Structure 1
Amino acid sequence: MKIGNREFDLDRASHKCYIMGILNVTPDSFYDGGKWDDLDSARRHVESMIEEGADIIDVGGESTRPGHEQISTEEEIKRVVPVIEMIKKEYDIPVSIDSYKAEVVEAALKAGADLVNDVWGFRYEKFYKDNSVIRIAEITAKYGVPCCLMHNRPDTDYTNYMEDVINDLKDSIDIALKAGVSKDKIILDPGIGFAKNLEQNLILTNRLEDLLTLGYPVLLATSNKSMIGLSLDLPKDERVEGTLVTTVMGIMKGASFVRVHNIKENKRAIEMTRAILNEQKSI
């Protein structure tokens, strides 16, 4: 898969796993709100993430933590566009836009973003605006960029949990394909922490390989989330080790990407896991 000017090898036999580094230019994100919401601090953080091994920088302008306050499209564009323009001008690394709003996504793609990372899996307009034409999917197709479609829904009214998750993702895929997004430009995200309780998050992480039956690469985004905090009874700034466990399990179950805050630690965990898994093939 080509993202920006870089080719990503998604052959699961090699156990390669790429790092999407998180850059929240928000005052209220659950883990790092307010740390990187001006250009100078964002620039320093991008430099640090690249040095530590990030493969993609994911720029988000609105917090999606539970109970977050939705901001205007204009405010979100004002937050993300200058940062995307700065990264594309100063660094040679693919950039993704973390948004579910069509107008924000189009502004970000015009600014140079290379991937659309949608926490609603192209379904926000369907659920909340009753749109039959999904503009964010059409915009993604128009610009010819890849997308990451995350599992999410307005409720937790599951009948058969894993089957429902798979069917929801199939709906997202169908929306993307009908809009003209190429099959080889779709990544799936199980949506850990979204419309799921602790038990459901743990089940889905443990059964990540079920998503691979859909035929698309998978991105796992568990970094410092409540699943880890609740399991270990730890605050948000003490969840690195728990995150590393999920990264290792993700690789073993076939994930091609992880979206994380702590780049260096996760990079080392990925390399160690790959060393062990790839050595098994030589025996």
Structure 2
Amino acid sequence: MTTYWRPIPMTDPARPPGAQALAGGWCWFDRVERLSRTEPPRVVNLDEVPADVLARLTAPREPIAGLTFDAPRIMGILNVTPDSFSDGGLFVAEEAALAQARAMKAQGADLLDLGGESTRPGAATVPDTEEIARVIPVLAALRRDGAMPLSIDTRKAAVAEAALAAGADIVNDVSGLDYDPGMAAVAARARGFCVMHAQGTPETMQADPRYQDVLLDVYDALESRVARAEAAGIPRGRLLVDPGLGFGKTLQHNVSLVRRLSLYHGLGCTILLGASRKGFIGVLGGGAQARDRMPGSVAVALHAARQGVQVLRVHDVAETRQALSLQGAVGGTA
């Protein structure tokens, strides 16, 4: 029987003796939820947690592309696509993309994630050459601008390779190494690599997704992807993991993952979460259009920060930065 250990994060300044820092960050925990596929969840004290598990939960995460994780980091989304679900077509022109990137940097983004292929539900695959033509001029211009870490959001090894040559630091693979067999070898040369969980491809992923236990199934899948990345020569300290909200998940699947995000600290990697403006926020919060989901997106980002999630991938940088600043001041998060 596999046992899973979910730290129960706290940020209250009244930290009791014996509490441990979660992943070396701003949250602490003194209890853990013990989960399995055969028994009800049970909250236990730290003395019941195996030593190797506790070491992985508490170990500070290594810097990636120069970013430390003593505070939540904001990854600004820059889609240079005509058809992304939220901002498709707004930043296709190079000058518009550069202006948006510079604005997000000024608003407080810590890094940027550039994408040249929409992976919204039902989206068709874009040829490598077209995706490269969309992202590389913008990426190269941003690299000339300065030292902000840059991520390339792609499933394709050829695109990742071109982006790294143009100055990208991080590869963000929404397929989690399941789409392109050549991706691992390319990603091994990046300063950081994000493996995301997805069930199916964008064309099919929302066609009746099913899990036995979504929280634990996603954990097992990410654990397998981390092992594959390590086998390809990518150290765990250079990895980010993303549970993949909306990628082959129903509304209830997404809610279940968000509620217990802290489970994924058990993988020993930096956690990245991309919830911004997604459909489940619109359903729960009443935002019919993606552009109307900023308040709900910020609410999920704040919850994720209280769960110790280190990287928040967002469209609304200024609003998220302001909310994090206030939460840090009054709620104990950095």
TM-score, normalised to structure 1, is 0.90
1:2, distance to aligned residue in structure 2 (A): 4.0
Give the Cα–Cα distance (whole angstroms) in 2 for the partners of residues 83 and 144 of structure 1: 19
Letter of the structure 2 residue corresponding to residue 220 of structure 1: L
CA–CA distance in structure 2, aligned partners of residues 238 and 186 of structure 1 = 32
- Residue in structure 1 matched with residue 137 of structure 2 by the alignment: 82
Secondary structure, counterpart of 1:187 in structure 2: strand
Match of 1:66 among 103, 114, 121: 121
Paired letter, 1:20: M
The change in CA–CA distance for 1:30 and 1:250 in structure 2 (over 3 A counts) is same
Structure 2 counterpart SS, 1:63? coil
Which of 170, 191, 194 is equivalent to 1:148?
Answer: 194
Aligned pair partner of 2:325 in 263, 271, 275 = 271
2:75 — aligned with what? Answer: 20
Amino acid corresponding to residue 212 of structure 1 in structure 2:
H
Q: Give the Cα separation in 2 of the matches to 1:3 and 1:218.
A: 12
Per-residue CA distance 1:235-267 (angstroms, 9 max, x = gap): 211111101110110010110010001110000
CA distance in 2, matches of 1:3, 1:85: 20
Query: For residues 170 and 128 of structure 2, what CA distance do their matches in structure 1 show?
Result: 19
Matches within 5 A, 1:80-119: 80-119=135-174
1:174 pairs with 2:227: yes
Superposition pairs of residues 1-283 of structure 1, within 5 angstroms: 1-4=62-65, 6=66, 8-11=67-70, 16-125=71-180, 134-141=181-188, 143-154=189-200, 156-234=209-287, 235-278=289-332
**Cα separation, 2, equivalents of 1:232 and 1:277:** 23
2:144 is paired with a residue whose SS is helix
What SS does the corresponding residue of 2:301 show, helix, strand or coil?
A: helix
Asked whether the 8 Å contact 1:251–1:273 carries over to 2, the reply is no
Residue 84 (structure 1) shift: 0.7
Q: Structure 1 stretch 151-160 or stretch 230-239: which is displaced more?
A: 151-160
- For 1:144 and 1:244, the matched residues in 2 are separated by 29
Q: CA deviation at 1:277?
A: 3.3
| 1:91 CA displacement | 2.7
Q: Report % sequence identity.
A: 37
Matching residue of 1:129: none
Residue 103 of structure 1 and its aligned partner are, at CA, apart by: 0.7
Given that 2:298 and 2:320 are in contact with CA atoms closer than 8 Å, whether structure 1 keeps it comes out as yes
Letter in 2 for 1:117: N
Asked which structure has the greater CA Rg, the reply is 2
Q: Which deviations, in whole Å up to 9, do the C-alpha atoms of 1:95-119 show, x marking residues without a partner?
A: 0000011111111111110000111
Structure 1 Cα separation of the partners of residues 183 and 255 of structure 2: 30
Cα drift, residue 151 of structure 1: 1.0
CA shift at 1:71, angstroms?
1.0
The alignment's TM-score, normalised by the length of structure 2, stands at 0.77
Q: Sort the Cα spacing of 1:262 and 1:144 in 2 relative to 1 into closer, same or farther, 3 A.
A: closer
- Separation (CA, whole Å) in 2 of partners of 1:174 and 1:19: 27
Quote the offset at 1:144 in angstroms: 4.0
| Higher relative helix content | 1
Instruction: Could you list the structure 1 runs, at least 4 aligned residues long, displaced by more than 3 angstroms after superposition.
Output: 1-4
Give secondary structure in 1 for the equivalent of 2:267. Answer: coil
Counterpart CA distance in 1 for 2:327 and 2:213 is: 32
Give the letter for the 1:160 counterpart: D
Contact 1:148 1:187 in 2 (8 A): yes
